Structure 1
Amino acid sequence: MDKGNGLSAMQMDALREAGNIGAAHAATSMSSLMNKKIDMEVPFVDIVPFADILDWMGGPDSPVASTLIHISGDVCGKVYFMLAVDEAETFVKYASDEQHVQLIDQDETNLFGASVFKEIGNILTGSYMSAISDFTGLHIQPSVPQLQIDMAGAILSDAVIDVSRSTDYVLIVDTVIRYSGQKNPVNGQFLFLPDPESLATLFRALGMAGNE
């Protein structure tokens, strides 16, 4: 059955399975680094039009913390890991044991917090890409991460203009992060903005071509 985004239920299930494998790898990497228990899962994966991205992020004026990684190799594009700033700050406090971290006002302490978040984004995104590479057999090479802390609209505006020249959709991997002492889970999003051929390459590696 074809979904409105042009992907079949089987293709969406395959993307979700790859996402869950990535989440397991990322949780293991984070737990090992921090010596603290981290659990991650992917409740759903979706392909959405560019016009809907900012709604997913809470609107263009929502403050978010984001890491951006360019990927190259068999699959090319951009991958963002994004959290609401308040959730990012809570996660950084847990990861670093620093309880006075803020990410928007960049004084000396907060620059430390930004550095911690950048490393978190690097580990999580790298783990996802590594898992997808293992799952598909594709070579995926991530770049050094770039950190942005700004309004969602400001962060994504250039990316949308750049990628929209070649495709109309973005792959969203919704990610839930749970750790001890936190009443509510952290909800983050991975946004994969692929080059035109990359989704087709990914589906071929998963044993699918076109809508099945």
Structure 2
Amino acid sequence: MKRKAKFAGSWYPDNIKEAKKYLFDIPEDKKIDVISCICPHAGWMYSGKVAGEVYSLIKPADVYILVGPNHTGFGENVAIYPEGSWETPFGELKINSELVELITKNSEFVIKDTKAHLNEHSLEIQIPFLQLITKKDFSIVAITVRVEDYQMCQDLGSAISSAVKEYIKKNSGQKVVLIASTDMTHYEPQSYAYKLDSLAIEQILSLSPKKLFDTVISYGI
């Protein structure tokens, strides 16, 4: 099963020379060994420099778990791409089916589903960045979330945590990074968007998932 690129040449460049312009030249000793990060998913012409700076700063991993919103409304509420590969103009990536099985096993809500991913942009536009920064072979897990439900979000987070612990125990030396994609506040003046986004960031930094969820819902972030 292969998911072909849907947004190359429109939402992001389809040639490597143009794509590399979005990366920053960060010395290796300045790069960060992260567990997770947040990146936007608008077209690269809008948010590519922000995403590019994040990806330029992180040390490459063996597996990336991508979690993003479902904008199309198709597919399961929490949909994990089951197997096979994803393709972009820069190459083909394998789905890490072992981690897919572990996450699904540990979750009440995660369902194997391809429909949610077929025309969804939020995860596809992360992958070219990963291909540019990661010189070794790596695999991905792709998950979309369609509904704003705290129980589902909490379940997904717990399932990913348990699955990664089990995976690393079986695959010693493998590095797994979680990438959560959000555009934060939309269509507001910069000063107002900054104010709202700061409320959400405050809850992220305080490690308060329920308060973060409530803040996002209350302010429409």
* TM value normalised by structure 2: 0.32
Structure whose residues are more often strand by fraction: 1
For CA contacts below 8 A with separation 6 or more, give which structure has more relative contact order: 1
TM-score, length basis structure 1: 0.33
